[in-house]
Structure 1
């Protein structure tokens, strides 16, 4: 069975897989990516679109794993500079739970309910964080990221629009990247028992709005190169740092 490659937008999917056309948002289609047959999906921006689109796609029952490709913001350009590519190994959704005035994130355990309905204390309970062995998840799909550096990420519904919020989130969670779909996609794959991997190229500094500290074209180019190295391992194993 093929891997399902998911991107939030057609722009990201076209850049990542070097294809000219994509189906409408939410529609799964077949293509050959660097000589490998895959299924592809433009899920749409944000956790609602991502969860709904992937849930519908996985109902097909013919997917061996989920590979999310996209761009992200960096909380620390020294550690994760513009144009770098990172293999994500953890996602936090800081908006689930009780949210108090003046707080940058919610108290995930304040409601007393695990996101996945697990009983308190169960080993599989999920609140605001998911983590996984990224190389092992790729191996389950027959893929290899080589020496791609890893990072933890935050999934947000509202993009951090100023430096103050960016600094508060970075201080609380210690994440390197910010995106809008990763947690929802990883969560859907986890509930379906499928391997999940996420590759993000840095397009901007978190909290900075265009045109300052942005390089979307550079990030998309780097994403395409990294996707080729994963989907066509014979192409090499070097990654941008």
Structure 2
């Protein structure tokens, strides 16, 4: 069995990498590989696709930091870590007449054409999601970090989005296409639109992300193969 652990940057994973260096023997029967895929949709799509085609894993876990629309997730005693059960390429489209129209609104794509399901890239491996014991949320993935009040207000009023990243939907898209089980874990570091990093909870988010990730790896590596079915 093979677990591929991936993130945009090594910084986000460093505590887990340190743990794996010292504790690898705890996972008999498993090979754990690490892929630092780079920041953004293009880098993630290319690096992850290349990796899966060269050596297909049993499961992929992507971990990283995210912005949120939910102050409750950010302001808890420890920044929340969530499991993203559906994601989308949120800034593919156009503003028209004061509203956002995505590729489905424009008639350029079918909202239920594989790998999409009602416009989202949904994770069908529900058993894996449940084993995380995390709140499951909707994510959006962007190429340009959201800062405009108009866009933020639109998300709040017209979508169920909770977290924003620059790589999540790429993970969902590639793994759905390749039919490889996956999890996306995100720790909340800031409110979407907040660009003053003095107000971010980056250090705390990295700590809680990696505590959760280590626990999740322990769980995954003790599952039966039947748990990796959609």
The TM-score bracket by the shorter chain reads 0.7 to 0.9
Matches of 2:51 and 2:69, distance apart in 1: 32
**Alpha-carbon shift at residue 165 of structure 1 (Å):** 2.8
* TM-score of the two chains, using structure 1 as the length reference: 0.77
Give the secondary-structure state (helix, strand or coil) at the position aligned to 1:100: strand
The structure where helix makes up a greater share of residues is 2
The residue number in structure 1 matching 2:51 is: 57
**Alpha-carbon shift at residue 151 of structure 1 (Å):** 1.2
CA spacing shift, 1:219–1:102, aligned 2, 3 Å: farther
**Correspondence 1:214-225 to 2 at 5 A:** 214-225=200-211
Matches of 2:153 and 2:184, distance apart in 1: 24
* TM-score of the two chains, using structure 2 as the length reference: 0.81
Matches of 2:147 and 2:174, distance apart in 1: 27
**Alpha-carbon shift at residue 42 of structure 1 (Å):** 0.7
CA spacing shift, 1:225–1:20, aligned 2, 3 Å: closer
CA spacing shift, 1:34–1:231, aligned 2, 3 Å: farther
The residue number in structure 1 matching 2:224 is: none
Q: Is the 8 A contact 1:17 1:33 kept in 2?
A: no
Give the secondary-structure state (helix, strand or coil) at the position aligned to 1:161: coil
Q: Is the 8 A contact 2:115 2:177 kept in 1?
A: no
Which moved further from structure 2: 161-170 or 219-228?
161-170
**What's the RMSD between the two structures over aligned residues?**
2.9
CA spacing shift, 1:33–1:209, aligned 2, 3 Å: farther
Which structure 2 residue ranges, 5 or more long, are not aligned?
A: 221-230
Which moved further from structure 2: 197-206 or 58-67?
58-67
1:95 aligns with 2:62: no
**Alpha-carbon shift at residue 187 of structure 1 (Å):** 0.3
The residue number in structure 1 matching 2:107 is: 112
Matches of 2:19 and 2:97, distance apart in 1: 45
Q: How many residues align?
A: 214
